[in-house]
Structure 1
Amino acid sequence: MAENSSNFKESIRLLFLRYTFMPIIVLFVFFLLFTGFNAKIIVANKSQEANKVISASLSGVYFNYYDEINRMAALPLVSDFAATRLESQNVYEEFYEFNTHQTVKSVFYIIDTKGIYLASTAPSDSDIQETIYRTIVPRIAKAPESTLVEANKIRYSHDRYTVYTFGKAIIKDNQVIGYILYQLYEEDFQKLIFVQNNEISVITDRHHTIIATTNNITKGLMNKFAPIFNSKGNVQLNGGSYYMSQASIPLTEINVFTLNSSQLQRYVYVSLIVFIVVTSLLLWFLIQFLANKMSTRNTQSIDKLLFAVNQLQQGNTLSYVDIHTGDEFETLADQYNIMLTRLNELLHKNEELSNLRRLIEVKHLQSQFHPHFIFNVLETLRYAIVVDSKQAQDIVMILSRLLRYSISNDGQTVLLSDDLNHTTDYLRLQQIRFNERLSYDMQLSEQSRHALVPKLLLQAIIENSIRYGYLHQESLLISIRGYLDETDLILEVEDDGSGMSEERLEQIRQLLNDPDIPTKHIGLSNVHRRLLLLYGPGYGIQLLSRLGEGTCVTIRLPYEKGDVHV
């Protein structure tokens, strides 16, 4: 042990020196995280500030036009012009006086109710005029008292576009006599949303239709802005990651989006390399000192742990270790002791489960196919051969399936649907024997049929129902139900037999909960104990019974879905 301790001390010292770069990596990670976090804050602030500037500018543009179109629509000069077509120069002067002071310029129209353009600041284009009259004017006419505000893109000459429209009905003497429209140019919107220190700006209406953008990579199908977010919550555009700030202009349907790249700049990495080189030199001397300190720590705890492990390898399952150093070795020793305790418990449970499984298999074979049962089946078969050859064939086939399933070695758990097939065969044989005196029904959910359950789970319970159900009556109904209760599978076997008294029911419950008490109810006891060992406390059998009314046995076990046969 002394040699091992010495080797351990030396290996600790050498290992610590060999991996001196680990603290440097940790420092690098921390610095990288700090730099990235700082850069993210800067990007977020840039986006938010740009969003505020753009929102304020757009708000001014919006309300300037909103107020202006309402003023113009109510101006007697405009209504007289729409009615008489006189003094058009004064109308144009009003428009140009307003338009020259706007950062976002517009096209101006006055249209009468018949679709005749009375005033226009755009070159005459029949297609554009037809589009406006057929698509925009009807929406104004539907609500003449309201102001139409909407995004719509119209192409003019020289590849100029208007992307936003303000519209209002001109009313005189309570009659609509025309319509006034302002259509705002896209290029002016783009100039407005170009903000210093901001990469991409997008403005949309409430339907996410893009009114204007500083970068066409934001345009999706149907000119929509539909950002795709990555796992970090950033917007993914054209292979790049962008932090996005969003705001809605109050009392409008305009949304403002500002995006800035969230990727670190090259200078960040240069600064990181310089920082790591400098700090690495300082850390090297510190690590040399720490390596010597760590290598001199005593190795008594390691010796104790090695000895305990060696004892365990030789089969001593009581080789507990006692360490009180107040450090990680004490924690390791405590965990080792917990593991050893758990190992002993598992060994005990496995041994008990193995013995119980063997008893269950023997019990099932004896209870299901003991000579008395086979004699009854053969007597029924002999009678059926004479009276009903078809029924005789059914008896032979069912008995064959029962024997094959009971002696098969397909594992300890099976699909509930497979076990129900076996249960159905058993009940059918008993039904042939008892004729109309025995009936049964099964009501199981589709999910419960796919559950994995211990093999022959229901057999002992159904056998008890048949065995004790006819004590004081001529007929018996057995109901089998299955359903899910959250993460558990519930199976119920209920009969309308004679039932039992409260005293007798309490006795059987005590027998089920104490495996050391001998009982003739070995079937129920073994099923309950097996479920406890397999799944732990909280699972097993519960009994409900009333004298003269019947008995209900409830089985609870964890739901585990099995592979469905195809």
Structure 2
Amino acid sequence: MKLFKRFSLIRSLKGNLAIVLIITTVIPIILTGYISYRWIYIVQTEKIEKDIQTNITRETNELERRLDDTTSVSQLLAIEGGIGRDVVKFIANQDELEKRNLYADINASMLNVNFANPNLGVMFYYTPDYKDPIIFSNSNIAPTFLIDQLPLFYEKNLLKYYGPYTSLNTNDNSLVFSLVRTMPDGVGHTIYAYIETKLTGMETMFAQNAKTSDSYHVIVNPKGTVTYSNLAKINQVGQAFAAPKGYKVFSATSIYDWKVYQLIPFSVYNHEINKWIVQFILFSCLSLIVGVGLAWFIWKKVYGPIRLINKEITRFRNDQTTNSLAMTGLVEFDQLLLNFDQMRGQIVDLIMDVEEKEKRRGQLEVEKLLVQINPHFLHNTLNTIQWLARMQGQTNIAQLVTIFTRVLHYNLGKKNIIVTVEEEVEAIRDYIQLQNIRYDHVFKVLLDIDPTALDVSIPRFILQPLVENSLYHGFEQGEGEINVIIQKVEESKLLLIVKDNGIGISAERLAQLFEQEDNIQKSGLGIGLHYVKKMLDIYYGASAQLEIASSNGKGTTISIHLPGTMKGSHEDV
């Protein structure tokens, strides 16, 4: 995705949105076209072809069945079958009465056969060696009939199949197939049984007016020669079959190796696909028009609110004052604008908070500078006092000045405002030792320091003011015990506790300590506490917590919770 964004030539939202809308319009058209084309193609190639193949197979089987029916009937007309034997007797008999009886029996038998097989047409016996060659015919037959003139289809032993051709019935012009069975009469002559089968129900296959048909049929004998075609301009009777160009060819083969071909022009075969292509082009054009219209509409709906949001952001960049928002009328973009308005308010509050903190820090720097009354002068003076005390053998005074110098150097010196817990603890020890000398050890200070917290960085001078408050304001008789506890909790977080067993602070006074900061700062108790609160606010903000628990006569406990990281500057003040 990153690579695509890097090499994309279109960088504007407008261009990308236009491309997305075009793609979302074109892809459904392509997918719809592909799926529908595949469906039509499958229907065309599978269902339609299967139907056509099934149809031509059915037609082939039907023609084969009818030819087989003529074969079965020919067995009844054979000499061995009964009727043929009577015909031989009829021809050879000279007795007129017996001959008349045989004639009646043969005619009755022929009528029964014809009645039992309604698809049969003309039936008769052909005796070319006798005066009347056509006998026992069930129809009017032209007297010029010759077997050799019939179009041979195929032959099998003594059976020959002919057709298709026009029926020998002078009153019927329909196409028929026929079977001629050759039967020796035993006295040197040959008798032929002629049987026609009608093509009733197969008119589509043998349509005479093929120009009005959507398909054409060609019948080929086992030798590959065309015996029937209603597409005579391409496949003529008597010629070898060749698949013509421009036609879809289907075929079925009989068990006797003759074939039936069905030829469908591609213009007809592809009619549905061609029709679909025209409809799909119209549908695609309409979809593109609708897609372009929708793209323009969506663009107006999206780009307008984006311009309005950009306008609000630009105005806020130049002017951070709060202004009324102009809504877009769309829920999503209006929600975005409301979120931006909330963010704008938070940014303004943050800027004001930063400015206020900078102002506080400046005040703190001034306060520190006011306290630092020429530290070099004070240090030099104290060093002179320390030297004179040692010269005169005043070791107590020299020790007091040494400790006081260290305390003064830590509080008023040039050290960084950020120190380690170990440095802060050493300063507390010096302060405690200094106060013990001053008060002749009338109070006790116990230090409980977690060794793992010694390297943690904290703002300088946040414990001594609290110890000093306990010392000066916690004990009426000047005697008592102060506990300083430093613990490392939850990885880098610190817990600082200054606890005394002094007179405590009333609930009303506690409330004043947190509610009236200006009055507190003027009192002795509030000066150190005010300094600590400011240091915590500058370097930790709301992440640090200062808690005071106290009651009259039960002492005071001040707890400070420090997070693992500071938010203020680490530079000197």
TM-score normalised to the size of structure 1? Answer: 0.42
Bigger radius of gyration among the two: 2
Higher relative contact order (CA 8 A, sep 6+): 1
Please, what TM-score do these two structures have when normalized by structure 2?
0.41
